[in-house]
Amino acid sequence: MTHILIVDDSVLNSALAKDILLSSGYETSEIDCGEDLQEQLMKQVPDLVLMDIQMPGMSGFDCLKFMRADDRYAAIPVIAFTASVMKEDRQAIIDAGFDALIEKPIGFKDFLNTIASTLQNLAK
């Protein structure tokens, strides 16, 4: 089963993403801050990470930089999962190395399509 790690400091956003993913056949785990990322990755390496950008402490950008610098985690696709962004912010997210972007509030179909297409690109 495909395992997705959700990293989001919003309990509501994390719960919504978890419910959608579980009902669609994915397995999930959740953490609410970037500081817990390394410990969580050591417990279980996910197939994909859904990463909030704006979090207290380590931002999503910091977490992505950590993952890309470690050979054990560098190839894991990471999707930015963040509130509506301006055009220049969207480009900064892609330039930072995120594999895709899902904007909140989410559309159910677009959310699942982005997850599926990112995982499909990994399989290629």
Label residue 105 by pLDDT band (50, 70, 90).
confident
Question: What pLDDT does 101 receive?
Answer: 94
What are phi and psi for residue 120, nearest 5 degrees?
-65, -40
Cα(82)–Cα(51) distance, rounded to whole angstroms? 8
Question: What pLDDT does 124 receive?
Answer: 63
Cα(46)–Cα(40) distance, rounded to whole angstroms? 9
Q: What is the DSSP letter of 16?
A: H
pLDDT in tens, 15-65: 999 999 999 999 999 999 999 999 999 999 999 999 999 998 999 999 999
How much of the chain exceeds pLDDT 90, in percent? 81
Cα(12)–Cα(100) distance, rounded to whole angstroms? 21
Count CB-CB contacts under 10 A for residue 40.
Answer: 16
Question: What pLDDT does 70 receive?
Answer: 96
Count CB-CB contacts under 10 A for residue 37.
Answer: 21
